[in-house]
Amino acid sequence: MSYQFDWSVLFSGQSGSWLLQGLITTLQISALAWLLALVLGIFAGSFRTLPIGPLRWAASCYVEFFRNVPLLVWMFFWYFGVPPLLPQAVQDWLFDHGAEFWAGMFALGVYHGARFSEVIRAGIQSIPSTQFEAAVSTGLTIAQTYRLIIIPIALRLIIPPATNESLNLLKNSSVALTIGVAELTFQTRQIETYTARAIEALTAGTLIYLLLCLCIAALVSRLERRFAIPGMIVQMRAE
Amino acid sequence: MTVVEFRQVNKWFGSLHVLRDIDLKINAGEVVVVCGPSGSGKSTLLRCINRLETIQSGELVVDGVSLSDPKFDAAKLRANVGMVFQSFNLYPHMTVLQNVMLAPIKVKGMAPRDAEKTAADLLDRVGIPDKANGYPANLSGGQQQRVAIARALAMRPKIMLFDEPTSALDPEMINEVLEVMSDLARDGMTMVVVTHEMGFARRVANRIAFMDEGRIVEEGQPDGFFTAPQSARAQQFLSKILSH
């Protein structure tokens, strides 16, 4: 092997600030997309468990439509497809204000919202139906029962698979580089282009993703213990 | 005053005819025990009263409102009809006190401070004031069921429905729940109870409705029912459950 490693490229020139900017953009796009996905997922997942035909149908359409088309296609769709449908003034405004970021964020959010929805639906369906009946029997409406009882319990039950989905979302934010969002992978490639040091640049990117995901997983497992339902098995690990 | 009235009520689950021509009147302050073999339609009958099940024909009037009225509001009805389930179904993520306070605050708009006071009084009444800040998982089955009763009472219901409230309990916890129910009956609460506790039925009920295959086969005073059941089906049922 004749390759000479040169790690100094990561600490010289603009590499450091590019990586930092990339990291910040990755965190921003992921956080916003995560919030969007969570809200869409809670609504769609809940609607799919309700005995109300039109809501179930709408939620099922959303889930099947978005989870069955590749994320990359959605990125292109929101960036290249949607803007021409908007009024010229809105288009101009968007392209002055980072259209690629918003398109990427929407694509990521709606795609993962569809996937979150299934996780949340599974959580809701694991709750015995008598729990729902007991709540509505006290006079709570269906909406109140979902908001106060069913969803708070379901969210606690689904923390492990939802963490998986959240980490997938974070990693999938790298797809946004294809529409020009200057996130972490984009910046890693930029370092590679400028220094011709592929291994060093990709190693830096890989480590940053890895650390980021590990930190999130650690944070979530703390939250999981903090919000554990007393009597559920998760408490045993906290001992 | 009649608070619940079934008039020729029929219900099917698919092709299964679960309630057949039910006629039943329940008056204010009355305790009616519904008994019968499993699959006879007891729980379904009870669950129709607060609209957890819908009926397909006949008429059901609860607290002066017909449940088949197009303007009927299920949440409004349920605010006045308490229900206790076999499986307790407390809210596991809330404390005992929060379980009891929730509906008065969210449904009646009661101030949290008042709701807390009502809840504390009710927990006192069902005999577990010291567990108010515990979680359901830390309570025994009997305690959980008493909290479930307190939760239903917090809405000051006009009628209380009990769906096999002691069937999931260890034998030594059955009495503590039955005692709370007997106290309620003594205070004049209108109650409809599906149970296999024949001792309770005999002591507390004003009336027994015996069901078999979706019909009310026999209806009458507990003394008459237990000593001289009229129908062959009831005689057979009682001989099986009272022989041990």
pLDDT in tens, A107-119: 999 999 999 999 9
pLDDT at residue B36 greater than cutoff 80? yes
- Minimum Cα–Cα distance from B152: chain A residue: A138
Chain A residue with Cα closest to B154: A138
CA–CA min distance B77, chain A (Å)? 7
pLDDT at A239 over 50: no
The neighbouring-strand residues paired with B162 are: B84, B193
Nearest to A139 among B79, B92, B136 (CB): B79
Backbone dihedral angles phi then psi of residue B149, each to the nearest 5 degrees: -65, -45
Interface of B with A (CB under 8 A): 50, 52, 74-76, 78-83, 85, 87, 89-93, 102-103, 106-108, 135-138, 148, 151-152, 154-155
Q: Which two tokens stand for residue B137?
A: 């998982």
Which of B88, B106, B110 is the best residue to mutate to test the A interface, defined by the most A CB atoms within 10 Å of its own CB?
Answer: B106
- Which of chain A's residues have a Cβ under 8 Å away from the Cβ of B151? 138
Q: How far off is chain B from A134, nearest CA to CA, in Å? A: 6
Task: Look at residues B133, B150, B102, B76 and name the one whose alpha carbon lies nearest to residue A149.
Answer: B102
Which residues of A are less than 8 Å from B100 in CB distance?
none
Q: Kindly list the residues from chain B whose CB atom is less than 8 angstroms away from the CB atom of residue A128.
A: 87, 89
A234 touches chain B (CB under 8 A): no
- Tokens in use for A187? 């910046």
Q: Is the pLDDT of residue A95 over 90?
A: no
* Farthest-apart Cα atoms in chain B, separation: 55
Q: Indicate if the pLDDT at residue A61 is higher than 60.
A: yes
Chain A residue at shortest CA distance from B51: A137
Mean pLDDT confidence for A67-89: 89
CB A166 within 8 A of CB A109: no
The stretch B62-76 carries a mean pLDDT of 89
Q: Which residue of A has its CA nearest to B92?
A: A229
Q: Which of A128, A140, A148 sits opposite B87 (nearest CB)?
A: A128
Inter-chain touch B103–A134, beta carbons under 8 Å: no
Q: Check CB contact under 8 Å for B106 and A134.
A: no
Quick check: A234 pLDDT over 60? no
**B103–A140: do the CB atoms touch at under 8 Å?**
yes
> How high is the mean pLDDT of chain B?
92
Q: What is the mean pLDDT of residues A121-133?
A: 94
pLDDT at A126 over 60: yes
pLDDT band for position A144 (cuts 50, 70, 90): very high
Q: Across the interface, do B93 and A137 touch by the CB < 8 Å criterion?
A: no
Interchain CB contact of A6 with B (< 8 Å): no
Indicate whether A192 pLDDT > 50. yes
Q: Is the pLDDT of residue A99 over 90?
A: no
Which of B75, B87, B93 lies nearest to residue A139, judging by beta carbons? B75
A176 contacts A183 by C-beta, under 8 angstroms: yes
Cβ neighbour number for residue B54 with a 10 Å cutoff: 12
Distance CA A91, CA A69 (A): 25
Q: How confident is the model at residue A194 (pLDDT cuts 50, 70, 90)?
A: confident
B89 and A133 in contact by Cβ < 8 A? yes
Provide mean pLDDT across the span B104-128: 93
The reply to whether residue B78 touches residue A134, judged by beta carbons under 8 angstroms, is no
> Closest-CA residue in chain B for A134?
B89
CB-based contact A74:A209 (threshold 8 Å) = no
Confidence of residue B23 (pLDDT cuts 50, 70, 90): very high
For residues B46-73, give the mean pLDDT.
91
What number is the ipTM of this complex? 0.91
pLDDT at A238: 45
Mean pLDDT of A137-160: 94
| Residues of B in Cβ contact (< 8 Å) with A134 | 83, 85, 89-90, 148
Domains of chain A: 24-238 (1.10.3720.10)
Give pLDDT, residue A233. 58
Q: Please list the alpha-helical segments (H only) found in chain A.
A: 15-47, 53-67, 71-76, 88-96, 99-125, 129-137, 142-145, 151-157, 159-172, 184-195, 198-226, 234-238
Distance from CA of A193 to the nearest CA of B (A): 53
Q: Do B152 and A232 touch (CB under 8 A)?
A: no
Q: Give the model's pLDDT for residue A165.
A: 93
pLDDT digits (tens, 9 = 90+) for B123-161: 999 998 898 999 999 999 999 999 999 999 999 999 999
CB contact under 8 A, B148 and A134: yes
Which of A138, A141, A230 minimises the CB distance to B152? A138
Query: How far apart (Å, rounded) are the C-alpha atoms in residues A181 and A72?
Result: 13
